[in-house]
Copies of this chain bind each other. A is one copy, B any other.
Amino acid sequence: MKFLNTVSYKELRNILENISFNTSEEEIISIDKSLNRVISKDIYSKINVPHFKKSRMDGYAVIAEDIFDAEEDNVITLELIEIIDAGTIPLKRIEKGKCAYVATGAAIPEGANAVIMVEFTIRENNKILISKAITPGTYIVNIGADIKEKQKICDKGHLINISTLGVLSSCGIEKIPVFKKIKVGLISTGNEIVPITRKDLNIGEIYDVNSIVLKNAMLNTGVDVKFYGIVKDNLSDLKDIILKTLTERDIIIVSGGTSKGEGDLGPLVLKELQNIELLIHGVKIKPGKPFIFAQMKNKIIFILPGYPTSALSCFYLIIENFLKKASRLPLKEKDSKRLEIGERIYSTIGRYEFKPVLIKKIEGKKKIFPINTGSEAISTMYNANGYIVIEELESIVEKGEFRNFYKF
């Protein structure tokens, strides 16, 4: 077992980036449920698109050579032998001197090699008077012009977007092989935590915020999340629920239980588990120092601080991209803007701090202001527009300095 007490944020990110933990099992799902899923094997079209020659315009399917001499003052007359609407099968062959009406998208009858637009024709009963010459192929969409039979249309690993749905459905591919979702189990711990459905709070009790916030925050990381309930702060209850969750899920995320003073339950429970290969206890960041990460063969456990603002920070800074990578989704890019500090900001030496900040417009210029409620306040996250990073050895960021501002 590799046991690392406290690591820096950079070390942790390095460790997590180098863990190979990706969804690899497949399942077959309906195209209608496949948006934002990842394709698990190369997909080839079984048909040509279009799979018949069709007209690009409303007009008449002709033999181009029949009307090579047509001009406004040399109208050529063809005999109309059939009307072909979109969706109907042509029944007759076009011979010299004949033509058939074709709607946009309709199949071109045998024998014809071009379409003359209605605009250059006059119909008189069964006679079509044509006043313009066209070359062979005009306004005909050939078989496979869009997608060819056996052509690869999607690569393994491709994230299904709206355009992908268009290509798959035009090839008639209704069942899509995709990677299964990573299964996450979520556990809230703490004697003080009660479910939101409880009507009144006793002294000492607070509502369970983390299960709702973390579950929803995970929705767009491509994972499937199940909440396993609120567990009291005692070793055997916590161990039982973790063991149960381990049999059902790939990743376990526990909130609370990382720094309980009298009894630091998280690490105690983990040390009793078999097969732990890597255990990190503590990351030098603020908020969220009480953070635990454990790897066990094909399972991962994260234990986050109990304060919702800290837990959510840990989620955004550490877990979100881990889950996205595990789900084979593109990682979230960190957009940053360089802005001026509007008021002196204090920080604790020795911790890499993600300081929640507010952006205010002062005389037309966006500036950064600290939010000075702590991580015990849920309103801290609510009021923040994003954060700035304060290095381990900085204790003050001075008014007037320029810093990178990141959105959550």
Contact = CB atoms under 8 A, between A and B. Distances in A.
Interface of A: 31-32, 35, 47, 49-52, 54, 56, 58, 83-90, 101, 103-107, 118, 141, 145-147, 162-167, 169-174, 190-193, 196-199, 201-209, 212-213, 215-217, 219, 233, 259-262, 306, 308-309, 312, 373-374, 376-379, 381-382, 384
Contact of A47 (B85, B201, B259): B201
18 contacts: A49-B206, A87-B191, A89-B203, A101-B262, A103-B260, A104-B260, A104-B261, A105-B376, A106-B204, A146-B373, A146-B378, A146-B379, A165-B213, A166-B212, A166-B381, A170-B308, A172-B196, A174-B196
A107 B382 contact: no
- Judged by DSSP, the binding face of A is loop
Given A85-B191, A312-B162, A169 B262 contact: no
B378 A262 contact: no
A89 B382 contact: no
A192 B86 contact: yes
Query: Can you list the 7 inter-chain pairs with the closest CB atoms, starting with the nearest?
Result: A87-B191, A87-B192, A58-B261, A86-B192, A107-B204, A146-B377, A163-B382
B260 A35 contact: no
A212 B32 contact: yes
A196 B31 CA distance: 9
A103 to B, nearest CB: 5
A198 B170 contact: no
Copies of this chain, whole number = 2
Nearest to A104: B261
Given A162-B312, A163-B381, A262-B103, A169 B207 contact: yes
Contacts of A56: 374, 376
Contacts of A31: 196, 212
A395 to B, nearest CB: 20
A95 to B, nearest CB: 19
A162 B204 contact: no
B381 A169 contact: no
Given A212-B32, A259-B104, A376 B141 contact: yes
A9 B246 CA distance: 57
B213 A198 contact: no
Contacts of A312: 162-163, 166
Given A106-B204, A204-B107, A166 B209 contact: yes
A86 B203 CA distance: 10
Contact of A204 (B88, B215, B306): B88
